Chains A and B, each alone.
Chain A
Amino acid sequence: MGLHRIGAFLVVCVIMILACTYAQAQNQSPLLGARRFLQFCAGCHGTDGKGGDKAASLATSESVRARSDEDLFRIVHDGTTEGMPPFAQIGETNIRAVVHFLRMLEGQSISGSDTAQAPVKGDVGSGRSLYFGKAKCSTCHMMQGKGGFIASDLTAYGRNRGNDAIKQAITTPDSQLVPSSRVVTVRTRGGQSVTGVLRNEDNFSLDLQTEDGRYHLLQRSGLTDVHYTDRSLMPRDYGTLLSPEELNDLASFLIAESRTPRAVAGQSQ
C-alpha cells in the first residue's frame, strides 16, 4: 500500500473511533447497558430481568415499570432496605446504562423520546378494527387475551412507546430483531424442509415453531442445512398496505389498549 493509502486508512479509523465514542456517549449504547446489566444485575435479577433465585422480576413488575428513571437510578445507586446492595461504585454512566437497558427489557422505546403519556393522535376505534381486520395483526399477535400465538403479546407494547416509534416498528420491522423471533429454514436428512421461528438453539439442537403452533424439536445431527434469515414473520409491506391515517389509528389503538385494565373474564364490566 502507498503512504497516502495508509494515511487515508488511518483517518477513516480515527473518524470511526470518534464516531463510535460520540454515539456511545449520546445514545447510551444498548451494548454498554447489556454488558453492565449482565455483570451487575443478572446474577440476582436474571439475564432477561425476569427474576432470579435471589431477587424479583424487574422486567414484568408493574411497580418497577411505574417508577421514573430517576427513581430507578437512585435505587441502583443506594440499594434498598429489602436487601439490594448499593451500586454507587460502578459510576453514574454505568448506572444510567443499566436503567436504560432495563427499560428495553420492559419493552420501552430505545430513544426514550416519546414519554409515558404519549398523546393518542388517531382514532382508537378505527385502530381496533384495523388490528382485528384489514391489518390482521391479531393473526399473529395476542392483545388483551385475543389473537395469535406465533408472535409477541402486544398488550403492553404501547405503554411507553410513542406514536412515531410504533409506526416505525410497523412499517420497518426487524430493525432490532429479537432472537426468539428469527425465522430459520432447515433441511432434514430425510429431505424435508421446515421454515419456522427459532425458539432456542445450542450446539446440538434447535427448536422451531411453525405457524400451526407445532414445535419442531430438532437435533443438528439430523439436519443437512440450517439457514438463518435476518427477519421475523412480520410482513414488511405495511407502509404500502396501510395509509398514514390508518397507521396513526393503529398506533393509537396500541397505546390506548396498553393503558386499559384487563377485563375480568366471565363477568360483565
Chain B
Amino acid sequence: MKAQLRRQEFISMVAGSLLLLTQACHAYGQEEKIAQHESSNPTAQASTGVTGLINVTPRGLLQKHMTDNWVSYNGNYTGARYSAMTQITPANVGRLAAQWVFHARAVSPLEVTPLVDSGIMFVTSANDAYALDAKTGKLLWHHARAVTPGLVDDAGQHHNRGVAILGTRAYMETDNAHLLCLDARSGGLIWDVPYATGNKNYGATSAPLIVKDKVLVGTAGGDDGVRGFLAAFDAESGEEKWRFWTIPAPGEKGNESWPGDTYLHGGGTAWMPGTYDPELNTLYWGTGNPSPDYDGSVRPGDDLYTSCLLALDPDNGTLKWYFQFSPHDLFDYDAVQTPVIVDARFKGQPRKLIVTANRNGFLYILDRTDGKFLFAKQFAQRQNWANGIDKNGRPISAGLTPNQSGVQVCPAAGGATNWYSPSYNPATHMFYFRSLDACALIKSSTEPFEEGHTYYSTGTRGVGEPGKGFINAFDLDTLDFAWRDLQYGMDKGWGGVMSTATGLIAYGDDTQNFVILDGRSGKPLWHFNVGQLIHASPMSYAVDGKEFFAIAAGSDVFSFALP
C-alpha cells in the first residue's frame, strides 16, 4: 500500500512538473543579452558559482588565481598557464589515472586548448564546436560546420585552437576567417561575421580572446601574402569596433619598407591569442613574419610591424609601443609566441615584465610598461643568423641572406620554438618552454604574389644533424637555465607546457606521451601514452573538488585525475 501511494505521488509529481514546465515554456521570456550578474559569493570562483550553469563574467576572465575554471585559451590573461590548484602534488602524481577520452571528428591533429567553466568543457575541431560534461567527457551539444574547400596553407589544414566565452556565449574562428557567436547552452548560431576579405589567402586557425566587451581575432595566411591585422568585434552585436593593420599603408609610419602595394601582401599576421594587463589596460600581441618569407628584396628595411610584439589599447586598438625581435626577417621567424605577463624581481628589483621565448632562438625579457628591452639570452644550441643582440634589443645581423642555391640557417625556419604554449611558475620562478635545435637550408627566388598559392618565395628543407627537442626551465633569479630536458623522438610532437602551484610541469612529448615533471629538477614523475601525436597544449580544471589535467592529442581529448 505504501509503495502504491509513493508511486501515485511520484506520478502526480511528474505530471505536475511536466505541466509546470510546458506552461513555463510558454511564459518564460528568454533574455538574448549576455548575462552579466556576478557570483553571489565574491570570494569564490569569480566566473560562476553553480556547476553546469555557464556564465563567464568579465570579472571571471580577470582571474589571476586560477583553479576550477580555465576561461580563455591560456587560462587567464597572463598567458602563464599556471594553475593554483594543489590537489595533485609530486608525492601523489604517480597515481594519476585517465578519466575519459572524447573522440572529436578531426581532419588534422587537434590544436585546441579546452576551456572549462562550471564543469562544462568546450573544445573545437576544425569548424566544429563541442560542449562536454567535464567530469565524464560525454557530449552535451555539437555545433557542426563543414570545412571550407580551396583554402591555402595553414587554413587549408583546418586547425582550430578553441573558443572564447563571455556570459552564455561561445565564440570561435572558422577556417575561412568567420567569427561565430554561439549560444553556449545549446551550440545554436547567433551570428556569423566574415572578417577577412579582399584576399583569398586569408584564413584563421586561432582562438579568439575576449577583453571587456570585445572579441579579438587575427588571421592565418602570413606565409601567403595577406596583410595582417588584429580586429575587435562587439561581443553582443558582432559589429566591428576597431582594426589594427600590422602592415602600415602609404603615409603611415613604417610604410617605408613597403614600396607600392607590397603592404597589401606584407604578412605580419596575428595568428595566436595575445595577453592582457588590466591594470595597465594594455594588450600584448605578437605578429608573424613578413611576406614573402625568404625574399627580402621586395620589402627593404625593417618591415614594421612584422615579427614584433605590439602593445595596444584594447578600447580603440591604438599602438602604445612595439618591440621588433627580428627586423627584416628572412627566415620565417614569427613572433607570435605567447608574451607571458610576469611580475617578478628582475636583477633584484620588482618589475612588470614580459617574458617570451622567440622563434629566432633568443629568450627576451621586456618591461611591459613601456617596452624597454631588459635582457636577451640565446637558447638555441645552434644559431648563426645573428652575432648577438645589442643593448637596445636589436639583433646584430650576421648577413645571411637566402639565395637561389640556398644558405644554411640555424635555427631552422620552423624556429627554435614555435606556437606551443610556454608557462611561468611563480612558485619556482621559472619560465618553462619547449625548444627545437635544428638548422635548415633556405632558398630564395623572387616570385609574384598569386591568390590560391603560398608566398614563401621559395623554400626550405632540413639540413645537418636532425633536430633535437628540449623542455627548458629558465630561472628568472639566476637568468640562466636550471635544466634542459632532451626529448627523444623524431621531433614530430608540438605539445606545449603548463605548470602548477605544487611545482609540476605538464606537457606532451615527442613520442605520444603526456608527461608530468618535477618543475624544480626536471625529473619525470608520471606519463601516459595517448597513442597519437600531441599537437596541443595542456590545461587543468576542477569539478566538485576533483582536479583534472586535460590535453588534446590526435583526434581525441584526454582527461586525467587522481583515482
- A positions within 8 Å CB-CB of B: 46, 50-53, 56-57, 59-62, 136, 138-140, 142, 145-150, 153, 155, 183, 185, 187, 193, 195, 199-200, 202, 204-205, 207, 209, 211-217, 225, 227, 229, 231, 233, 235-236, 262, 264-267
A-chain residues with CB within 8 Å of residue B183 when the two chains form the complex: 142, 149
Taking a contact as CB atoms under 8 Å apart, the answer to whether B185 and A266 are in contact is: no
Binds A, one of B17-25, B265-273, B290-298, B419-427: B17-25
- In the assembled complex, how far is the CB of residue B388 from the closest CB belonging to chain A, in whole angstroms? 48
How long is the Cα–Cα vector from A124 to B128 in the complex, in angstroms? 32
Q: A53-B555, A139-B29, A142-B186 are in contact. Are A205 and B138 (CB under 8 A)?
A: yes
A233 to B21, Cβ gap below 8 A?
yes
Check if A207 sits within 8 Å of B138, measured CB to CB: yes
Q: Is the CB of A147 within 8 A of B26?
A: no
Provided the pairs A147-B30, A153-B188, A207-B138 are in contact, do residues A50 and B144 lie with their beta carbons within 8 angstroms?
A: yes
Q: Could you give 10 example pairs across A and B, Cβ below 8 Å? A: A50-B128, A142-B188, A149-B30, A199-B140, A213-B53, A217-B52, A225-B10, A235-B26, A265-B181, A266-B240
- Please indicate the chain B residues that have their CB under 8 angstroms from the CB of A205 in the complex: 133, 135-136, 138
Dominant secondary structure of chain A at its interface with chain B: loop
The chain B residue sitting closest to A201, CB to CB, is: B138
In the complex, the number of residue pairs spanning A and B with C-beta atoms less than 8 Å apart equals 155
Q: What is the CA–CA distance of A46 and B30 in the complex, to the nearest angstrom?
A: 33
Are B146 and A56 neighbours in the complex by a CB distance under 8 Å?
yes
Bound Cα distance from A227 to B54, whole angstroms: 26
> Are A185 and B14 neighbours in the complex by a CB distance under 8 Å?
yes
Number of chain B interface residues as a range:
35 or more
Residues of A within 8 A of B119 (CB): 215, 217
B380: min CB distance to chain A, Å: 36
Q: Which residues of B contact A200 (CB under 8 A)?
A: 133, 138-140
Closest Cβ–Cβ distance, residue A98 to chain B (whole Å): 19
Q: Is the CB of B30 within 8 A of A60?
A: no
- 11 additional A-B residue pairs with CB within 8 Å, beyond A53-B106, A59-B144, A266-B239: A139-B26, A142-B186, A149-B30, A185-B17, A213-B53, A215-B53, A215-B119, A217-B51, A217-B135, A265-B191, A266-B193
Least Cβ–Cβ distance between A234 and chain B, in angstroms: 8
- Is the pair A211, B189 in contact by a Cβ cutoff of 8 Å? no
Q: How far is the CB of A138 from chain B (nearest CB, A)?
A: 7
Which 10 interchain pairs have the tightest Cβ spacing? A265-B238, A266-B239, A149-B186, A265-B191, A215-B52, A213-B185, A142-B188, A214-B53, A50-B144, A149-B185
Taking a contact as CB atoms closer than 8 A, the residue among A53, A136, A264 that contacts B26 in the complex is A136
Q: Which of A185, A233, A266 contacts B25 (CB 8 A)?
A: A233
Asked if A262 contacts B192 (CB within 8 A), the reply is yes
The residue on B at minimum CB distance from A264 is B193
B425 to chain A, nearest CB (A): 31
Within 8 A of A (CB), among B166-210: 168, 181, 183, 185-186, 188-194
Select which of B25, B32, B53 is within 8 A of A136 by beta carbon: B25
- Any A CB within 8 A of the CB of B233: yes
Is the pair A213, B168 in contact by a Cβ cutoff of 8 Å?
yes
Query: How far in angstroms is the closest Cβ of chain A from B237?
Result: 5
List, in ascending order, chain A residues with CB within 8 A of B13's CB.
Answer: 185, 193
Does B461 sit within 8 A of A, measured CB to CB?
Answer: no
Instruction: Give the complex CA separation of A60 and B120 in angstroms.
Output: 25
Complex-state Cα separation, A142 to B141, whole angstroms: 15
Q: Are A52 and B14 in contact (CB under 8 A)?
A: no
Does any Cβ of A come within 8 Å of B50's Cβ? Answer: yes
A265 touches B193 (CB 8 A): yes
Is B105 in contact with chain A by the CB < 8 A criterion? yes
Contact with A along B130-148 (1 / 0, CB 8 A): 0001011011111011110
Chain B residues near A52 (CB-CB < 8 A):
105
**A50 cross-chain contacts in B, Cβ below 8 A:** 105, 128, 142, 144
Are B25 and A235 in contact (CB-based, < 8 A)? yes
With A211-B28, A235-B22 known as contacts, the answer to whether A265 contacts B239 (CB < 8 A) is yes
Q: Are A266 and B237 within 8 A (Cβ)?
A: yes
Task: Contact check, B25 vs A211: say whether CB atoms are below 8 A apart.
Answer: yes
Of the candidates A60, A193, A199, A211, the one whose C-beta lies within 8 Å of that of B24 is A211
* Complex CA distance for A138 and B190, rounded to whole angstroms: 13
Tell whether, in the assembled complex, residue B14 and residue A149 are in contact, meaning their CB atoms are under 8 Å apart: no
The reply to whether B186 and A214 contact each other, CB–CB distance below 8 Å, is no
Say if the beta carbon of B277 comes within 8 Å of chain A.
no
Q: Which residues of B, 49-76, contact A by the 8 Å Cβ criterion?
A: 50-54
How far, in angstroms, from A200 to B135 measured CA to CA in the complex? Answer: 13
Q: Which residue of A lies closest to B144 (CB)?
A: A50
Which A residue's beta carbon lies closest to that of B6? A225
Write out, one digit per residue, whether chain B residues 359-380 have a CB within 8 A of any chain A CB (1) or not (0): 0000000000000000000000
Residues on B with beta carbons closer than 8 Å to the beta carbon of A193: 13, 17
**Chain A minimum-CB-distance residue to B20:** A195
Which residues from chain B contact A213 at a C-beta distance below 8 Å? 53-54, 168, 185
Shortest CB distance B331–A (Å) = 35
Contact of A209 among B140, B142, B192 (CB under 8 A): B140
- A152, chain B: closest CB distance, angstroms: 9
Q: Which residue of A has the minimal Cβ distance to B237?
A: A266
B234: nearest chain-A partner, CB-CB: A266
Q: Are A148 and B30 in contact (CB under 8 A)?
A: yes
- Cα A57 to Cα B128 in complex, Å, equals 10
Bound: A199/B130 CA distance, A: 13
CB closest chain-B residue, reference A200? B138
Q: How far is the CA of A231 from the CA of B21 in the complex (A)?
A: 12
Max chain A C-beta neighbours (<10 A), residue from B24, B52, B234, B237: B52
